[in-house]
Structure 1
Amino acid sequence: MQAGLDFLYPPRCAGCGAPGTEWCEACQARIRRLTGALCPRCGAPHPRRGACTACRALELPLIVRSYARYEGVLTRAILHLKYRPNQRLAARMAGWLAEVCRRDNWQPALVIPVPLSPRRLRRRGYNQMDLVAAALAALLGIPLGSDALSRVRETRSQVGLDPVGRRLNVEGAFQASRDAVQGKEVLLVDDLFTTGATLAACASALREAGSGDVYGLTIGRASSGP
């Protein structure tokens, strides 16, 4: 199917539009990776020892890492996948996340994408993070838990909310399946880290259902985060 689609609609780079590939080497070179000295809890650039000030205030119930800064061509790629189910781009992004997971020597037992609300899923037709999480689970050789976490109430968009508003907006919005997660270390996957509110709400639901340690991986990290 993908070959037929490529014939009818030749692939173009999601970052710059160059023909022939879903992601070109020039755009890869423009990404600012998040490596080096990072907060051990939220993954923010942090030259000092221990958790950063903002992270301590949030009391994140999981450890988070992001692949790169949410800017420029990476922003365009994330938005492209959000509105177009590009399997090749999702697989490319999964490769980025697998690299981070292996670098930090995480060994989760289950990969779970952050779920959309039923209303947003019906409107969009797919969850882009399902695509990334499925490819990531295959790369890591562990199960995918697409149904292990669900959004049990509608929430408004997080865009425009301050950190407190974001936390309150998603508080109690998720529920995890005890049968699926009990005793397992879980890897949550999302596209963007801004304040960590969504990942924190998901992790709290997982821990309440009896999961082991929870890790979070995002493709991008917004500069407004901690």
Structure 2
Amino acid sequence: MILDLFFPNRCLHCNRIIDNELLVCNLCFEQIHFTHFNYFEDNFITDKCKLLFPVEHTFALMQFEKENISRKIIHELKYKSRERTGKILAEWTCERLDFKDEQPDLLVTVPLHPKKLKERGYNQLHLFTETLSGFYHIPFDHELIKRNHYSKAQALKDKQHRLSTENTFSINKNISGKHILLIDDVFTTGNTLASIAWEILKAGDNKVSVLVMAIDI
């Protein structure tokens, strides 16, 4: 295509010209710090979540370290209108995550407030989750959880504000007896996930597992 000649796709890290379906070149891909977590074995996220709420299993795709490639990828997805990045991250996840015989019943994303959704134009988790849904044949529900308050981006908040999530979320539908896989972009304090998890757990005889694109350690 003519546009590809004038505006070729470039590696997010080193700026080399790459195929349109890629995020980074092969050399930079090798520098991404994937976690290699086993979904069924306790890891850093499991330990953190168990201090906040009952959790079944957890998985993180990448490490979210200062100045590393994964941080740049997530920021492109969230703040640079690169929604397609979510599909590629989901494909990387599918290559590394095996649910075996314990697939969750439903994929649920952390919601944006309607005002934030209008500002950004998309929820950065939706295409990621929909791609996972298609691969694993697990239904998703973007409407199950409602965010009750508008707030600035997590990355811009100080620690005290990040810790305050009381009454931030509510359940929109009746749900019981389900194993919910709760999906977010970056695991930091775990308080946002805990706030949603308790709403799900209180709603009925449900179980919660966690999947994030990256973990900030």
On whether the aligned pair clears a TM of 0.5, the verdict is: yes
CA shift at 1:145, angstroms?
0.5
What corresponds to 1:70 in structure 2?
Answer: 64
Kindly report which structure 2 residues correspond to 1:210-225, keeping only aligned pairs within 5 A, or say none.
210=204, 212-223=206-217
Q: Which moved more, 1:116-125 or 1:94-103?
A: 94-103
Conservation of the 8 A alpha-carbon contact between 1:16 and 1:73: no
Letter in 2 for 1:151: R
C-alpha contact (below 8 Å) 1:155/1:173 kept by paired residues? no
Q: Secondary structure at the match of 1:30?
A: coil
Structure 2 residue matching 1:207: 3-state secondary structure: helix
Distance 1:204 1:7, change over 3 A: farther
TM-score between the two structures when normalised by the length of structure 1: 0.78
Q: Name the structure where helix makes up a greater proportion of residues.
A: 1
Is there any run of 5+ residues in structure 2 with no aligned partner, and where?
Answer: none
> In 2, Cα distance between the equivalents of 1:147 and 1:195?
24
Aligned length in residues: 210
> 1: CA distance between counterparts of 2:140 and 2:39?
28
- The answer to whether the Cα contact below 8 Å between 1:186 and 1:211 also exists between their aligned partners in 2 is no
1:196 to 185, 190, 194: 190
Deviations along 1:137-192, whole A, 9 cap, x unmatched? Answer: 11111112111111122235434433x64332x2221112333x322211111110
Matching of residues 109-128 of structure 1 within 5 Å: 109-128=105-124
Aligned to 2:87: 91
Distance, in Å, in 2 between the alignment partners of 1:204 and 1:99 is 30
% identical equivalent positions? 29
Task: Report how far residue 201 of structure 1 moved.
Answer: 1.0
Letter of the 1:111 counterpart? L
Give 3-state SS (helix, strand or coil) of 1:67's partner.
Answer: strand
Q: Shift of residue 87 of structure 1?
A: 5.0
Which residue does 1:133 correspond to in 2? 129
Return the alpha-carbon distance in structure 1 between the equivalents of residues 171 and 44 of structure 2: 27
Residues of 1 paired with 2:139 and 2:100: CA distance?
20
**Taking structure 1 as reference, are residues 215 and 38 closer, same or farther at Cα in structure 2, changes over 3 Å only?**
closer
What is the aligned partner in structure 2 of residue 61 from structure 1?
54
**Residues 27-36 or 132-141, more deviating:** 27-36
**Structure 1 unmatched runs, 5+:** 46-50
TM-score (norm 2): 0.81
Deviation at 1:8, TM superposition (A): 7.0
Could you report, residue by residue, the CA deviation over 1:4-46 in whole angstroms, capped at 9, with x for unpaired residues?
97677432223333222332222221122223689955x318x
* C-alpha RMSD of matched pairs (Å): 2.9
